[in-house]
Amino acid sequence: MGNAEELITAALDDAAESLVGPGDWLTGSQRRAAALEARDARTNELDQQRRDALSPNAVPGGHEATAELQAEAVEVIHRVASDPGRLTQVWADEKMTVLGEETYTELVGIAACTAVLDMFAWTMTGDDSQLGDDTAGSPAKERPDDVGDVGAWVSQTTGTGMANVSRSLSLVPVTNRAWVGLVQALYSRGAEFLDLSWDRALSRPQVELVAARTTAELECFY
Amino acid sequence: MLLGASGSKAGLTVDLEVATDPTKTGDAGVPHGNELLAFATAANRRSDVLPQARAALAAVVGHEGLVEAAATVAIFNGLVRVADGTGIQLDPSMLTSTAETRAALGIDLFSGAANSQDAPTQPRQDAAGVMGMFS
């Protein structure tokens, strides 16, 4: 296993551990349940109907609460996991009114980390990633002091030196640590990101070509 | 949008339409582009042809190259969800530098474009621009 693969594997392992451990505002069992809901969204019938509809709002009904998660939390996970390109601020505001913006943001992070873990496993092996048992402990329940409105739907670090995507989950530090670890290992690798002709097994244009096709497939504006 | 910049740096003539439009064929001007695009498309669609696409890609870029491609598909699946789920705006430097390309490729028609309609276009103090996104 080469250095890059070791780096990637370590970050994936860290993120998998974080997904089943105590988080920012959710317990390990709640985070694990949310990750499983994100995985279910790929084949869930309601999500499929929404994806096929001209507007997801045209499909009646909604996801129900589970033993671990409120109905609104299940909705957030399923929509972010299955149809992220058609989310709206009105929809997000409705969910945040019930869940709070911190829990909403943590759920977005869980959906994202689950997507990364499962997609990597799928592309390499054809299977989902392995999720361990949840671990006990209390959520950190820490809202950073330096967050505020920077134009996104949720509060983020207000300093001027960070790009929006780099601070997108800064409201939830525990979730953000796992997320940033994934971004660094799987893509940016610190100062290497500044090098348009980096020395990797794939050249920079080859990596960016895969990125371009992926974001196009997912209809991501950002 | 770093495809164009990195391609220029490498002396390539990158075809962004081929890169982003799966109905178009070709290598987009990037070495082993056919295999990379087939792999990315099959992975994102969870297609039954992924094993063949994976084998074809590994045959030309090796195992380490395959790992890098898989990592790229995976992380951008996460980035898309974080960006769209938190409703972030496109950064000022990106908003201005990619305007023509976004319009030409139809990217401005994506729903997420609404989040950046009122976004500022003046560079932030760091002036790191696009290259400061993940460093």
B16 in a structural domain: no
Q: Which helix (H) or strand (E) holds A147?
A: strand A147-148
A164: which chain B residues are within 8 Å (Cβ-Cβ)?
88-91
* DSSP-based three-state secondary structure for B89: coil
Q: What is the pLDDT of residue B124?
A: 45
Decide if B36 contacts A78 (C-beta within 8 A).
no
Q: What is the pLDDT of residue B123?
A: 47
Which structure tokens are listed for A126? 């054809």
Which structure tokens are listed for A97? 């009114």
Q: What is the pLDDT of residue B78?
A: 97
B96 in a structural domain: yes
Q: Does the CB of B62 have a partner CB in chain A at under 8 Å?
A: yes
Q: Does the CB of A161 have a partner CB in chain B at under 8 Å?
A: yes
A128: which chain B residues are within 8 Å (Cβ-Cβ)?
none
Rg of chain A, C-alpha, whole Å: 17
Count CB atoms within 10 A of the CB of residue B25. 10
Q: What is the pLDDT of residue B126?
A: 46
Q: What is the pLDDT of residues A46-101, one digit of tens each?
A: 999 999 999 999 999 999 999 999 999 999 999 999 999 899 999 999 999 999 99
B63 in a structural domain: no
Distance CA A160, CA B91 (A): 11
The predicted model gives B88-114 an average pLDDT of 62
Average pLDDT, chain B: 82
Cross-chain CB nearest to A221 (options B110, B118, B135)? B110
Q: What is the pLDDT of residue A218?
A: 87
Which structure tokens are listed for A120? 């990597």
A156 forms beta bridges with A148
pTM of the model: 0.89
The predicted model gives A138-163 an average pLDDT of 90
Q: Which helix (H) or strand (E) holds A157?
A: strand A156-157
The predicted model gives B92-106 an average pLDDT of 59
Distance CA A126, CA B55 (A): 13
Q: What is the pLDDT of residues A155-178, one digit of tens each?
A: 999 976 677 888 999 999 999 999
Lowest-pLDDT range of A13-22, B15-24, B83-92 = B83-92
pLDDT higher at A222 or A165: A165
Domain that holds residue B124: 90-135
Distance CA A83, CA A79 (A): 5
Distance of CA A17 to the CA centre of its chain: 15
> Which residue of chain B has the CA closest to A152?
B88
Which one of B2, B64, B72 would you mutate to disrupt binding with A, by most A Cβ within 10 Å of its Cβ?
Answer: B72
First-residue to last-residue Cα distance in chain A: 33
Band of residue B134 on the pLDDT scale cut at 50, 70, 90: low
Q: How many domains does chain B have?
A: 1
Do B19 and A216 count as a contact with CB atoms less than 8 A apart? yes
Q: What is the pLDDT of residue B125?
A: 42
Q: Would you tell me which residues 83-142 of chain A have a C-beta closer than 8 angstroms to some C-beta of chain B?
A: 84-89, 92, 105, 108-109, 111-113, 115-117, 119-120, 122-124, 126
Name the residue with tokens 């959710």. A26
Do A89 and B87 count as a contact with CB atoms less than 8 A apart? yes
Distance CA B4, CA B1 (A): 6
Cross-chain CB nearest to A123 (options B31, B43, B116)? B43
- Amino acid sitting at position A23: G
Band of residue A22 on the pLDDT scale cut at 50, 70, 90: very high
Predicted complex ipTM: 0.95
The predicted model gives A191-217 an average pLDDT of 93
Average pLDDT, chain A: 94
* DSSP-based three-state secondary structure for A219: coil
> Which residue of chain B has the CA closest to A103?
B86
